[in-house]
Chain A
């Protein structure tokens, strides 16, 4: 059964992609949950539409590039807003996100042709190409290096706000770098995860892990385990049942979340 499955090149590519990206989601997700940035990553996901629209307007054939550039600018802007420390920064972020989404939708639906882009809403992991896998490997390496270098400082920042403030310059750089990384991760994976579900995949494993973890080490490990497990399991189930992959992964991740929630309550 499995040997048949891997005789399809697209399944091999999809599996490799899942194995590359799901640990990253698990890892980065812990920090997003920890720093309460769920709004942030959601806004970023939606801004992918605007990035594509910008690319289309400027006549860039490869919209991935315009998506990444726009995503990075948007991430830095959102960071700037939340750094201002306004009480309403959550609201501001969602206003920006809605505005960006609306702009993207408006542009892409000119002449009623949004249908050409609707695939990006749900994503399609089976269409992933070898070149995109190479991009993912590069991203994997970058995030891993960043993680090893800066995880301690990032954690410190998220735990001790005052401590963090006292070293404000390096903190700012660190936070911006992290935001750029999230933007890269979101933009490079959105094509096959889909705008509607990408945030769920970022948040759920980390949130599940948080339900049962007592320290950071556990938190990170469990999050990665949950993420990879949901990814692989979701891909296989979707392969055999012929249902979309992204939603299947999210369903499994949600089951894990509820189970850990109940366990954690005890």
Chain B
């Protein structure tokens, strides 16, 4: 009896070991399809917008490999933790480019685990070189803006100057109406404003050019100029920046605060919906009131989490709800930033 039991346990554990090893082996076999050169510089990116930007900057440049960390299939990036696969990749990476501004909640763990990994934080970069800071709805760091501005601009290689002027312009528009406090938990979905996205591209290009900071043309600087021009010329706001300028909008996802900003619209009501978000009845009625009181004509929402609230808004108010993409989910290729933005703008125009 006693012997039988021991044999049973041994057999059980052995068969589980065998089954799980075999299963794992085939799983790995089926999923293993990377065949990149080992000595390439491995640049990891934390999210789609930064990934797209990096792909464009490094397009066709030899000696680099760009990989995106795995992306959430639902919810937003800031709820996300890294998988084992990600940690493995990071241990081999030479550089990690992140959106920053609190978007990557796991960043501290990564820094602790890989103290030698170079991390490029686009948000911080833009904030420090341009005096811009992300919004609650757009907050400005007044002190930095006033002081060492000119010299900062000088020290930026490439089109950092342009970027700096751009953010100046953006920040001047709003600087008087908002108090300034520095909050890193603020809205970090900056890529949704194409002008700030361009600053992100600049920051990435600068980081990648670091080894040869002189101004001679390199494949990277060429790519950078090309992509900047593309962003400048191919993003088509379809006159929305004139139609919506100064008008009031409401948003159901923080990210669209930057969409609104890029169109010059004022965000008068925000409700940030995602999967774990519980909305109270009071909040909903307050939100609906804000829409009515401010004559909001259009509400920007994300379909997955905003649809039911969107239906309610359309039923209870005169506002129209348009469902836009945030670029957070799914997989994208190098051209998709422009296509997604343009399709967002078309959707907005169609509904107006």
A115-127: CB near B (< 8 Å → 1, else 0) gives 1101100101011
How close is A9's CB to chain B, nearest CB, in angstroms?
7
Shortest C-beta distance, A221 to chain B (Å), equals 10
A240 to B272, CA, bound (A): 36
- A8-B88, A118-B276 are known contacts. Are A252 and B16 too (CB-CB below 8 A)? yes
Closest to A234 in B: B20
Contact B87 A256 (CB under 8 A): no
| Chain A residues, Cβ within 8 Å of B85 | 242
Whole-angstrom distance between the alpha carbons of A3 and B143 in the complex? 53
**Which A residues are CB-close (under 8 A) to B13?**
225, 229, 256
Q: Is the CB of A119 within 8 A of B81?
A: yes
Query: Cα distance A116–B272 when bound, in Å?
Result: 14
- The answer to whether B84 touches A239, judged by C-beta atoms less than 8 angstroms apart, is yes
Contact B105 A237, beta carbon cutoff 8 Å: no
Main secondary structure of the interface of A (DSSP, over half): helix
Interface residues of A in 242-266 (CB under 8 A from B): 242, 244-245, 252, 255-256, 259-260, 263
Q: Which residues of B contact A245 (CB under 8 A)?
A: 84
- Asked if B37 is an interface residue, CB under 8 A from chain A, the answer is no
Residue on A nearest B114 in the bound complex, by CB: A9
User: How many positions in chain B have a CB within 8 Å of any CB in the partner chain?
Assistant: 37
B352 at the interface (CB under 8 A from A): no
Looking at the complex, which of B72-80, B229-237, B256-264, B337-345 is the stretch in contact with chain A?
B72-80
Contact B91 A115 (CB under 8 A): no
The CA-CA distance from A245 to B28 in the complex, in Å, is 16
Q: Is the CB of B27 within 8 A of A109?
A: no
Q: Is A112 an interface residue (CB 8 A)?
A: yes
Q: Are B91 and A242 in contact (CB under 8 A)?
A: no
| Nearest Cβ on chain B to A49's Cβ, whole angstroms | 12
Contact in complex: A238, B84 (CB < 8 Å): yes
- Assuming A109-B276, A239-B84, is B9 touching A225 (CB within 8 A)? yes
Of A115, A122, A238, the contact of B78 (CB 8 Å cutoff): A115
A126 to B114: give the CA distance in the assembly, Å: 13
Check B75–A241 contact: CB distance below 8 A: no
Tell me if B274 and A241 are in contact (CB < 8 A): no
Least distance between B113 CB and chain A CB atoms (Å): 6
Give chain B interface residues in 70-105, CB to chain A under 8 Å: 75-76, 78-79, 81-85, 87-88, 91, 105
Q: How large is the interface on A (under 10, 10 to 19, 20 to 34, 35 or more residues)?
A: 35 or more
Task: Check B5 against A237 for contact (C-beta < 8 Å).
Answer: no
Decide if A10 is an interface residue (CB 8 Å cutoff): yes
**B9 and A8: CB pair below 8 A?**
no
Q: How far is the CA of A260 from the CA of B16 in the complex (A)?
A: 13
Please, how many angstroms separate the alpha-carbon atoms of A231 and B148 in the complex?
56
Q: Is B12 within 8 A of A233, CB to CB?
A: no
Task: With CB as the reference atom, state the residue of chain B lying closest to A259.
Answer: B12
B78 to chain A, nearest CB (A): 6
Given contacts A114-B277, A115-B274, A129-B112, contact A8 B12 (CB under 8 A): no
B332 within 8 A of A: no
The reply to whether A115 and B79 contact each other, CB–CB distance below 8 Å, is: yes
- Chain B residues positioned under 8 Å from A260 (CB to CB): 12
Q: How far is the CB of A95 from chain B (nearest CB, A)?
A: 21
Q: Judge whether B84 and A126 touch: CB under 8 Å.
A: yes
A222 within 8 A of B: yes
B82 — which chain A residues lie within 8 A by C-beta? 124, 126
- Give me the 10 closest cross-chain CB pairs, A-B, nearest first: A242-B85, A115-B79, A240-B24, A114-B276, A112-B277, A127-B109, A241-B27, A237-B20, A259-B12, A242-B83
17 CB < 8 A contacts A-B: A9-B113, A112-B272, A112-B274, A112-B277, A114-B277, A116-B78, A118-B79, A124-B81, A222-B9, A225-B13, A229-B16, A233-B16, A239-B84, A240-B27, A242-B83, A256-B16, A263-B8
